[in-house]
């Protein structure tokens, strides 16, 4: 898993640095990228809902959500961040140009999210307290990247 | 004759200006017999958000306890630099006694009698209790020391004249709760947490040109002083979240649509999420009592 992450990371850093082009339009790529984040949110939902007491704890549902989060957050990102898809270059995105100026840090923050989702996957079926404990790692990783690389509303 | 009259008038004006802007310290003996409890002080620390301004930008975990300062706060009046408030005796506040600490937090007055800029939210902290201040100091005395030297604020004239804050305080410092009146015990706890400690209103309430919070539009939203975007209004009419959703957000940073807090709110959640559930529920209960902005 570590080796996969490292090579993925290298590929993304390369893609960001070189401004890799995509076959699709930048607008379509951004739409797909935003869909990815919505998929993250969809799967975090049951875990947050259980942690906040809004729905009963269900080990199978928690595990399924956690498994999907790992798969989603380890998708190769190289095609999703083409040159010109920042909020200075186009409307309709909140991605800051800083992403392309700091590719190593961006990738490091993605790695932190991957670690957070993997930690959740390991304990999702072990009860509510375990889910609550692992949620902080995911929330922190989301926030850290948003703080640095997403424009305010 | 006219020169003499003019001189007398100017002298009177100078005396008046000096008198109007002098520091307003706590009365002697106000702190007599107070003993601080560091365990209670830790709760005050997280509720008050000290780390959000005085720890390094982006700090998490243990780094939130190193109050070395340095973070910039960009405002319409210039850029402020948070000072070192670690217990370092030379670069921090290590040598301060309780009276100095209390006058800073409750009156916005430095040990040498100078006024603090209200970027330090003493306009809210003034409603903290003396016991809370004593507890907070006991906790902060045990934090790691840092020898990071302070940086000057970058403020244009006339905001660079500290003494003028004495005048500002006379018009700006509130005397009572922003949302007065009878509340349940839980809502009162939430009011104290929100208005006195967590100082939500300092960001979420619009201000006049002189930087005075417009309490008639309490927490109704304001332009982001650090540039783009807007700090959202969080009255029930504007936010539309349930009590559980508000408490859940403060605990986890996730909104009801499972977006996560970014920007300055991420730092706020990093502190407030350390509070017990009952306190976050109390803040939520208070927020649901906010009147709509006119």
Any residues with CB less than 8 A from the CB of A91 and at least 6 apart, and which?
Answer: none
Q: pLDDT, tens digit, for every residue of B220-267?
A: 999 987 766 789 999 999 999 999 999 999 988 888 888 887 777 888
Residue B207: predicted pLDDT: 95
* Helix residue spans in chain A (DSSP H): 2-18, 26-51, 59-73, 98-101, 103-123, 128-149
Which of B229, B258, B260 is the closest to A45 by Cβ? B258
Q: Which residues of A touch B (CB under 8 A)?
A: 40-42, 44-45, 48, 51-54, 135-136, 139-140, 142-144, 146-148, 150-153
Most A CBs within 10 Å: which of B59, B252, B264, B273, as the mutation test of the A interface?
B252
Q: For residue A112, what is the domain's CATH number?
A: 1.20.120.10
Nearest to A138 by CA among A78, A75, A73, A61: A73
Could you tell me if residue B69 is inside a domain?
Answer: yes
Rounded CA-CA distance B112/A81 in Å is 54
Q: Tell me the Cα Rg of chain B.
A: 20
Assigned domain for B271 exists: no
B244 close to A52: Cβ distance less than 8 angstroms: yes
At B65, give phi and psi (nearest 5°): -90, -5
Average pLDDT over residues B204-224: 95
Residue B243 to chain A, least CA–CA distance (Å): 11
Between A7 and A152, the higher pLDDT residue: A152
Query: How large a percentage of chain A has pLDDT more than 70?
Result: 89
What CA–CA distance (Å, rounded) separates A50 from A123?
14
Q: Is residue A66 part of a domain?
A: yes
End-to-end CA distance of chain B: 55
Q: Are B190 and B282 in contact (CB under 8 A)?
A: yes
pLDDT of residue B256: 87
B-chain residues near A151 (CB < 8 A): 228-229
Report the distance separating Cα B260 and Cα B269, nearest Å.
Answer: 10
**pLDDT confidence of residue B145:** 97
Nearest by CB to A140, from B60, B232, B244: name it. Answer: B60
Angstrom CA distances, B131 to A149, B37, B136, B138, stand at 41, 9, 8, 11
Residue in chain A closest to B263 (alpha carbons) equals: A147
pLDDT number for residue B226:
73
Give me the domain span that covers residue A140: 25-149
Count of residues making up chain A: 153
Predicted pLDDT at A19: 59
The minimum CA-CA distance between A30 and chain B, rounded to whole Å, is 17
ipTM score for this prediction: 0.70
In chain A, the residue whose alpha carbon lies closest to the alpha carbon of B228 is A152
Measure CA of the first residue to CA of the last residue in chain A; give whole Å.
35
For residue B156, give how far its alpha carbon lies from the nearest alpha carbon of chain A (Å). Answer: 27
DSSP symbol at B254: B
Residue B191 lies in a domain: no
Q: Is the peptide bond before B141 cis (omega within 30 degrees of 0)?
A: no
Residue B72 forms part of a structural domain: yes
Token pair in block for residue B145: 């020391």
Which chain B residues have a beta carbon less than 8 Å from that of A147? Answer: 58, 262-263, 266-267
pLDDT over 90 percentage in chain A: 64
Give B224 to chain A, closest Cα distance, Å.
9
Is B229's CB within 8 Å of A152's CB? yes
Distance of CA B38 to the CA centre of its chain: 20
- pLDDT confidence bin for A9, thresholds 50/70/90: low
Q: Do the beta carbons of residue B54 and residue B148 sit within 8 Å? A: no
pLDDT given at position B144: 97
Total tally of structural domains belonging to chain B: 1
Q: Is residue B158 part of a domain?
A: yes
State yes or no: pLDDT of A20 exceeds 90: no
pTM: 0.85
Q: How distant is the Cα of B30 from the closest Cα of chain A, in angstroms?
A: 41
User: Coil, strand, or helix at residue B274?
Assistant: coil
> Would B244 be classed as within a structural domain?
no
Q: What does the pLDDT look like over B30-82, one tens digit per residue?
A: 999 999 999 999 999 999 999 999 999 878 788 999 999 999 998 889 999 99
- Cβ–Cβ below 8 Å for A54 and B244: yes
Rounded Cα–Cα distance for residues A63 and A105 (Å): 30
In a domain, A3, yes or no: no
CB A120 within 8 A of CB A56: no
With beta carbons less than 8 A apart as the criterion, state whether B107 and B122 touch: yes
Instruction: Say which residue, B252 or B162, is predicted with more confidence.
Output: B162
- Total of domains in chain A: 1
User: With left for phi above 0 and alpha for psi between -120 and 50, is residue B187 left, alpha or beta?
Assistant: alpha
Whole-number Å distance between alpha carbons of B228 and B264: 13
Rounded distance, CA A29 to CA B290, Å?
42
A13 by DSSP, 3-state: which? helix
B residues 50-89 closer than 8 Å to A (CB): 58, 60
Cα nearest neighbour of B253 on chain A: A139
B162: containing domain: 31-173
């Amino acid at each position: 898993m570590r080796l996969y992450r490292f090579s993925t990371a290298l590929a993304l850093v390369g893609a960001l640095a070189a401004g890799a082009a995509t076959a699709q339009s930048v607008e379509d790529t951004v739409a797909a990228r935003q869909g990815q984040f919505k998929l993250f949110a969809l799967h975090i939902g049951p875990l947050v809902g259980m942690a906040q007491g809004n729905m009963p704890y269900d080990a199978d549902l928690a595990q399924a959500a956690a498994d999907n989060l790992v798969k989603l957050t380890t998708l190769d990102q190289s095609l999703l961040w083409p040159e010109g898809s920042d909020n200075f270059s186009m409307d309709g995105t909140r991605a800051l140009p800083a992403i392309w100026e700091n590719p190593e840090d961006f990738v490091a923050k993605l790695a932190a999210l991957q670690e957070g989702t993997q930690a959740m996957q390991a304990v999702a079926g072990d009860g509510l307290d375990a889910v609550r404990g692992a949620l902080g790692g995911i929330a922190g990783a989301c926030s850290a990247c948003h703080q640095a690389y997403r424009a305010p509303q | 004759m006219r020169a003499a009259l003019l001189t007398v008038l100017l002298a009177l004006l100078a005396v008046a200006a000096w008198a109007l802007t002098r520091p307003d310290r706590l009365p002697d003996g106000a702190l007599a017999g107070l003993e601080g409890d560091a365990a209670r002080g830790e709760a005050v620390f997280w509720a008050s958000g000290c780390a959000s301004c005085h720890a390094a930008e982006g700090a998490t975990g243990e780094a939130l306890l190193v109050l070395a300062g340095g973070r910039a706060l960009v405002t319409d009046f210039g850029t402020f630099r948070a000072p070192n408030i670690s217990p370092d005796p030379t670069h921090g506040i290590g040598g301060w006694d309780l009276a100095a600490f209390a006058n800073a937090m409750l009156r916005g007055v430095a040990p040498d009698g100078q006024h603090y800029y209200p970027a330090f939210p003493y306009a809210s902290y003034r409603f903290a209790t003396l016991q809370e201040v004593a507890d907070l100091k006991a906790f902060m005395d045990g934090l790691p020391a840092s020898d990071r030297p302070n940086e000057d604020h970058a403020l244009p004239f006339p905001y660079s004249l500290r003494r003028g804050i004495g005048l500002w305080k006379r018009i700006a410092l509130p005397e009572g709760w922003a949302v007065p009146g009878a509340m349940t015990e839980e809502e009162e706890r939430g009011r104290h947490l929100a208005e006195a400690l967590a100082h939500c209103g300092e960001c979420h309430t619009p201000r006049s040109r002189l930087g005075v919070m417009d309490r008639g539009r309490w927490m109704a939203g304001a332009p982001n002083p650090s540039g783009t975007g807007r700090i959202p209004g969080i009255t029930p009419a504007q936010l539309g979240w349930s009590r559980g959703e508000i408490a859940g957000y403060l605990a986890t940073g996730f909104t009801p649509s499972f977006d996560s807090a970014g920007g300055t709110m991420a730092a706020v959640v990093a502190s407030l999420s350390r509070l017990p559930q009952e306190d976050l529920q109390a803040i939520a209960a208070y927020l649901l009592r906010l009147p709509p902005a006119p």
